[in-house]
């Protein structure tokens, strides 16, 4: 074994560790181990004096390896690595032993816990002796960005980046920009015109020299890694000047804003959508308003209108989630119907009224003021719509088990509007594969962290914004688009990207080109070179999960910082 000078620090974490683990016993145990020059216990290693103590000891005692037995490395590994850097030591010559989460917090027998702490600390000491100095890499950042989807999110993100002076490639599948909002008349709760919101964005996007727009186009391939992606855009209906039907663009980052699709109302048989002519979806109603006349299929002004919430949302059979925008949109319809015909009897059948946003509760109150009949139905007891008889003064009758009164009632309706929920697009698996991101059980794209990192994904350089990540309203969508742009702008302004020194490497002399690792890599970080018949790890994409290392039949792949001898030494230490 290589000779080195190891400093070991055992943290008490106040009493968090010390009340169960006998830290002095751990110290006595490890101070006798080979290569250990110095051992200390301290109340809070992560505190400034604790860190300074490490820096001081490294300088005074010429230490070249450090072990801290404290909390989880997820908590403070970065803190102590920085301390090593300050002392002029390579940050990878460090190891943490977790004697809090894995000892004192989970065990109540002090003796056994102390034994376990000893073993863990010994393992860390054995491992750190074999650590090597590693240097972080840095790669260039291409300032251009690819935005997939030309809805409100895509338009906003593109403008944000282009206004900062960077090139944007905007790809839209349809023949026009605008997305789903282009199908909407007014927006809740302030009744602003959706068209006004959009026209301003679209005009600015179209006139911005930094934005290259591809309409009726699809991104069919994305290669590369953070800062250096190569995207292929295909446009089957058009040809470029040189006769090609595709374009290749170099970009540094990608924002996915592919939006949602509405739920297919005919899936719920209770409502007779498709069979009863005057049962329409919210988007059909939007179209009706945009045409300027609320009427039945027969051209009559409805005397009774009914709005049914949660069509496809909040049910186990279809989608368990809430689509978030339908409640306020339904209230908006009430206003629109009432302002066109104040005599119209509007009933609003809901499960729960979700009025969570700014101005929403006021909007709800105001809708009550215009005399809307709110009826609550049970989630699993849907209303049933049927055609009215010849004696009735209405087109249809809705039977509903009204929850607030407990009565089974029948309400008249000439026009029924189904508030269809949001659904992940059918092509979202394709997109997810294209940019190498995950989808949740409902098909929405997954964020890196649902609370702390909502627009980033698990693939560096790929961001998500708007309703492709989950149902949300316009303000939230715009906020996400801007957040994603801000994240990218921050990266662009740095110019270079630091890549963690911990990644896998293929020993080209040993690789036989079997390509097993190619398909196993969850981050698509392994490239295959068809000329050399060899695989190659793109270090910027590698997250050091180790799957390729384990799978390689010729042991040609090494995980840096997770070398075989390091791991074996650690296991020996524990035993």
Partner 1 sequence: MAIRVNPKLIEDLSRFGAEDVHMCYHCGDCSAVCIHSDEMFRFPRKSTRLLQMGLERKLETSLEPWLCYYCGQCSEQCPREAAPGETMMSIRRWLIARYDLTGIAGLFFRSKVAEILAIIIVALLTGIFFLYYGFTFGNIKIYDGPNAFLESSFIHKFDLILGSVLGIFLLINALRMWYLIMVKGNIIPTPWWLYIKQIYLLPWHFFSQKRYAKCESTNSNNVHMPWLVHLGLMIGYVLMLILVMVFLPALQQGPEIQWSVHIFGYLASIGLIGGSVYFIYSRRKKQQIQYQKSHSTDWVFIILLGIIIITGVTQHILHRSGLFEAANIVYVVHLMSVVPWLFRMPFSKWAHLIYRPLAMYFAAIWAEAFELQNYPQNVIPITQT
Binding test (CB under 8 A) with partner 1, winner from 106, 112, 248, 408: 408
CB of 388 to partner 1, least distance (A): 11
CA distance 556 to 134: 20
390 counts as binding partner 1 under rule CB under 8 A? no
Angle between helices 326-340 and 282-290 (to 10 degrees): 40
What 186-194 contacts at long range (C-beta under 8 Å, 24+ apart), as own/partner pairs, is: 186/289, 186/332, 186/336, 187/332, 187/474, 188/325, 188/328, 188/329, 188/331, 188/332, 188/360, 188/363, 189/328, 189/331, 189/332, 189/357, 189/359, 189/360, 189/362, 189/363, 190/359, 191/332, 191/335
User: What tokens appear for 457 in the block?
Assistant: 């994904």
404 counts as binding partner 1 under rule CB under 8 A? yes
CB of 80 to partner 1, least distance (A): 54
Binding test (CB under 8 A) with partner 1, winner from 411, 455, 499, 517: 411
Bridge partners (DSSP) listed for residue 280: 417
Using CB under 8 A, which of the segments 81-89, 143-151, 245-253, 373-381 binds partner 1?
373-381
Q: Between residues 8 and 328, which has the closer beta carbon with respect to partner 1?
A: 328
538 counts as binding partner 1 under rule CB under 8 A? no
Of 536, 528, 503, 485, nearest in space to 165 by CA: 485
Backbone angles phi, psi at 477, to 5 degrees: -65, -45
CB of 366 to partner 1, least distance (A): 10
Please list, residue by residue across 538-573, b when 16 or more beta carbons sit within 10 angstroms of its beta carbon and e when fewer do: bbbbbbbbebbbeebeeebbbbbeebeebeebbeeb
386 counts as binding partner 1 under rule CB under 8 A? no
516 counts as binding partner 1 under rule CB under 8 A? no
Q: Between residues 416 and 456, which has the closer beta carbon with respect to partner 1?
A: 416
Cis peptide before 189 (omega within 30 of 0): yes
Q: Find the DSSP H helices in 271-389.
A: 282-290, 326-340, 360-369
Bridge partners (DSSP) listed for residue 374: 348
Binding test (CB under 8 A) with partner 1, winner from 230, 291, 405, 554: 405
Angle at 513 between CA 510 and CA 516, to 5 degrees: 105
CB of 353 to partner 1, least distance (A): 8
| Binding residues among 341-360 for partner 1 as defined by CB under 8 A | 345, 353
- Binding to partner 1 by CB under 8 A, coded x per residue (else -) over 432-461, reads ------------------------------
Binding test (CB under 8 A) with partner 1, winner from 3, 407, 441, 530: 407
CB of 234 to partner 1, least distance (A): 52
191 counts as binding partner 1 under rule CB under 8 A? no
365 counts as binding partner 1 under rule CB under 8 A? yes
Q: Tell me how crowded residue 16 is: count the other CB atoms within 10 A of its CB.
A: 18
Residue 172: C-alpha distances to residues 114, 195, 212, 479 (Å): 61, 18, 11, 20
- Binding to partner 1 by CB under 8 A, coded x per residue (else -) over 291-310, reads -------------x------
Residue 383: C-alpha distances to residues 219, 306, 367, 408 (Å): 43, 11, 22, 10
Binding test (CB under 8 A) with partner 1, winner from 373, 512, 516, 574: 373
CB of 399 to partner 1, least distance (A): 5
155 alpha-carbon distance from chain centroid? 19
554 counts as binding partner 1 under rule CB under 8 A? no
163 counts as binding partner 1 under rule CB under 8 A? no
Count of residues that bind partner 1 according to CB under 8 A: 24
CB of 280 to partner 1, least distance (A): 21
372 counts as binding partner 1 under rule CB under 8 A? yes
Binding test (CB under 8 A) with partner 1, winner from 108, 135, 298, 369: 369
399 counts as binding partner 1 under rule CB under 8 A? yes
Residues that bind partner 1 (CB under 8 A): 304, 345, 353, 364-365, 368-369, 371-376, 397, 399, 402, 404-405, 407-412
């Amino acid at each position: 074994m290589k000779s080195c000078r190891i400093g070991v620090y055992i943290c008490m974490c106040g009493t968090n560790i010390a009340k169960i683990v006998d830290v002095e016993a751990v110290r006595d145990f490890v101070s006798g181990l080979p290569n250990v020059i110095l051992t200390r216990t301290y109340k809070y290693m992560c505190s400034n004096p604790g860190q300074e103590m490490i820096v001081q000891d490294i300088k005074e005692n010429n230490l070249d390896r450090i072990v801290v037995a404290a909390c989880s490395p997820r908590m403070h590994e970065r803190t102590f690595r920085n301390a090593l850097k300050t002392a002029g030591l390579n940050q990878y010559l460090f190891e943490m032993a977790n004697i809090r989460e894995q000892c004192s917090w989970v065990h109540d027998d002090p003796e056994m816990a102390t034994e376990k702490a000893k073993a863990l600390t010994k393992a860390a000491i054995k491992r750190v002796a074999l650590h090597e100095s590693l240097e972080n890499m840095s790669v260039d950042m291409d300032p251009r960005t690819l935005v997939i989807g030309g809805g409100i999110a895509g338009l906003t993100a593109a403008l944000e980046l282009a206004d900062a002076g960077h090139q944007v490639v905007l790809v839209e599948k349809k023949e026009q920009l605008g997305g789903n909002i282009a199908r909407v008349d007014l927006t809740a709760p302030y009744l602003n015109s959706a068209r006004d919101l959009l026209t301003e964005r679209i005009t600015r996007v179209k006139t911005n020299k930094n934005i290259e727009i591809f309409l009726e186009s699809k991104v069919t391939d994305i290669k590369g890694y953070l800062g250096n992606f190569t995207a292929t855009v295909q446009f089957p209906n058009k040809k470029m000047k040189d006769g090609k039907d595709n374009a290749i663009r170099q970009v540094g980052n990608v924002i996915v804003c592919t939006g949602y699709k509405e739920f297919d109302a005919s899936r719920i048989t209770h409502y007779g959508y498709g069979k009863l002519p005057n049962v329409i979806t919210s988007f059909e109603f939007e179209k009706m308003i945009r045409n300027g006349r609320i009427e039945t299929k027969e051209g009559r002004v409805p005397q009774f209108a009914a709005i049914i919430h949660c069509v496809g949302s909040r049910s186990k059979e279809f989608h368990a989630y809430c689509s978030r925008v339908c409640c306020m949109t339904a209230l908006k319809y009430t206003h629109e119907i009432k302002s066109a015909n104040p005599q119209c009897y509007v009933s609003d059948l809901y499960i729960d009224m979700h009025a969570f946003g700014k101005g929403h509760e006021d909007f709800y109150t105001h809708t009550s003021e215009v005399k809307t009949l709110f009826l609550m139905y049970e989630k699993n007891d849907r209303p049933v719509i049927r055609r009215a008889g010849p004696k009735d003064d209405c087109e249809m009758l809705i039977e509903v088990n009204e929850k607030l009164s407990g009565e089974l009632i029948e309400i008249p309706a000439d026009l029924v509007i189904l508030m269809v929920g949001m659904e992940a697009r059918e092509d979202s698996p394709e997109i997810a594969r294209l940019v190498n991101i995950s989808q949740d059980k409902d098909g929405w794209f997954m964020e890196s962290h649902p609370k702390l990192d909502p627009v980033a994904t698990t693939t560096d350089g790929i961001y998500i914004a708007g309703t492709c990540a989950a149902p949300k309203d316009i303000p939230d969508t715009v906020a996400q688009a801007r957040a994603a742009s801000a994240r990218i702008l921050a990266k662009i302004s740095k110019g270079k990207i630091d890549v963690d020194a911990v990644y896998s490497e293929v020993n080209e002399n040993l690789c036989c080109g079997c390509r097993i690792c190619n398909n196993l890599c969850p981050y698509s970080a392994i490239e295959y070179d068809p000329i050399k018949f060899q695989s190659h790890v793109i270090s910027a994409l590698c997250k050091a999960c180790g799957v390729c290392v384990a799978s390689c039949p010729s042991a040609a792949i090494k995980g840096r910082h997770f070398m075989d001898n390091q791991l074996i030494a650690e296991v020996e230490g524990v035993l």
